[in-house]
Structure 1
Amino acid sequence: MTTFTDAAVIVERNLLTVRRIPTLLISATIQPLMFVFLFAYVFGATFGGGAYREFLMAGIFTQTVVFNAAFTTIGLANDMSAGIIDRLRSLPMSRLAVIAGRVGSDMLLGALGLAVMVVCGLAIGWRIRGSALDAVIAFAIIGLFALAMAWVGAVTGLAAPNVEVAQSLGFLWMFPVTFLSSAFISAQSLPGFLRPIAEWNPVTAVATAARQKFGNAAPPDFPPATGWVAEHAVGYSIGCSLVILAVCIPLSLVLYRRATA
């Protein structure tokens, strides 16, 4: 309970920063809108119009939660550079709470961005074709993956020596992981060795699971998703998220102790 209480204090501290500097909300809200309109109308005109926009939204949701890990990466690196972590370390509080508080506040900002994207998606013609329960499961899968990505961001931020390096390291893994997947295209259309990499990519699994639950089919000229991951997308995406959490939470504590030693 002490850990949860301490983490809640850190969440409140981070959200107060956002309230005092409202421009921090720009990345959480405007950037997702840019991606939605860019891919929906620039790529959509080539890949099938309205059918592609329905296919796209689950990928955009997944891509956004991956990119939101940058908030945690840069936030923790900035706290380390500014000496805030040293002040927190001098207090009788849980080490895990320091990192979990940053993750929690960034998750709340990410949820705001996701809500904005849902409204934007509905405005451009995206619809949830499945049941209400299926939609809840889809958003729960995306939320669990967002939590896993936030902890990956925490590991990256704690491993970086400064904010500039943290930002570079963050985008170094985000772009290939996101774009080498079926977030925006069918993985079956990729050539050679790229295809199995994309098929087993957790981003592909999360996007595929969300599409299945939303009832959003691929455009007619897209090769259908096949293989074990496509057939077990829900279970595989949940399993990947849990494995990432099981690895990154202890690793972040190790890096936290090392960075503050």
Structure 2
Amino acid sequence: MTPTTALPTAVARTHGVGRSVSDVLALTRRNLVHISREPFQLSDVTIQPVLFTLMFVYVFGAGMVLPGGADYKDFAVPGLLVFNLVTSTVGTGVGLSMDVNSGVVDRFRTLPMWRPGILVARSVTDLLTAAVCAGVVAVTGFAIGWSPTDGAGRALAAFALVLLFGYAVSWMCACLGLASKGVETAQALGLLVLFPIVFVSNALVPTQRMTPWLRDLTTWNPVSAVTAAARELLGNPNPASAIHAWPMQHPVYTTLIWSAGLVAVFAPMATFLYRRRAAD
């Protein structure tokens, strides 16, 4: 092996923290440039939240009766915030699958860069787009008459908590994307996994009248916990607080535990899958 071919590996092994951060920033900028050249990539965090908010509030909400007679829009907007942020994480798997299958990873292998940087940069990019999604949901909610009632500090905490959970879920989608053989498969797998999770929850409907086994399932669904936490922090109607189960009585702590657990499991798994795909 010549010194020229050995250089990238040698440099990569001696990367310091500063150089790794620089690599992540450069790759994040690359992802943002790609988005700026094809803005329609942001449709799932700009157009979709508006359509879903209007559709669920004005179409489905017209026939929804909440415990205590609460206004459906006040109940639904926190749930739609979680719904949109979780489903938008499919883009993480799609983006990584595109990079792996398009050959760009082969180019990265020849550069003296931090190997996991592409994964971290993708997660940072998607966290930024998730923040855009959260802003769109909030603006749409304000436009239809929704508002938080417990102050700006708790409202910011609610948005930060939901963004944290979405970031954690994005690592799971990263694994799905890296395990897929094509972009279409990555998208299909992501939707197949995430849609049942978000619909079988308290995000859009109260769960008290569900059959017992389904109510228990929604109670322990992490999406239900983060939704209940958002409603609690925002001061919006939260019927789940009447359910005497630990996740519904302590939704903030439950969300933090789920978020930490998802990152702890899927971040190392994504790194392993990426290394395996890059070595093929």
TM-score (norm 2): 0.88
1:81-129 per-residue CA deviation (whole Å, 9 max, x = no partner) reads 1111121122121222110111111211121121111000011111101
Contact kept in structure 2, 1:65 and 1:149, CA below 8 Å: no
1:238 pairs, out of 256, 265, 272, with 256
Contact kept in structure 2, 1:151 and 1:245, CA below 8 Å: yes
User: Match of 1:109?
Assistant: 129
User: Match of 1:190?
Assistant: 210
Q: 2:211 & 2:23 partners in 1: Cα distance? A: 49
User: Match of 1:96?
Assistant: 116
Q: Give SS of 1:182's match.
A: coil
Q: 2:20 & 2:212 partners in 1: Cα distance? A: 48
Show structure 2 runs of 5+ residues with no match.
1-16
Larger radius of gyration between Structure 1 and Structure 2: 2
User: Match of 1:84?
Assistant: 104
Matched positions, count = 259
Q: 1:223 & 1:131 partners in 2: Cα distance? A: 20
1:208 aligns with 2:225: no
Which amino acid is 1:110 matched to?
A: A
1:229 pairs, out of 243, 247, 256, with 247
Deviates more, 1:113-122 or 1:181-190: 181-190
Contact kept in structure 1, 2:45 and 2:136, CA below 8 Å: no
1:132-168 per-residue CA deviation (whole Å, 9 max, x = no partner) reads 2211211111111011011111111111111111111
2:194 pairs, out of 151, 174, 179, with 174
Q: 1:226 & 1:132 partners in 2: Cα distance? A: 29
Q: CA deviation at 1:223?
A: 9.2
User: Match of 1:63?
Assistant: 83
Q: 1:55 & 1:102 partners in 2: Cα distance? A: 32
RMSD: 1.7
TM-score (norm 1): 0.94
Change (3 A) 1:99 1:223: closer
Which portions of structure 1, spanning 4 or more consecutive aligned residues, are displaced by more than 3 angstroms? 222-226
Identity across matched positions, percent: 38
Contact kept in structure 1, 2:228 and 2:238, CA below 8 Å: no
1:136 pairs, out of 137, 156, 160, with 156
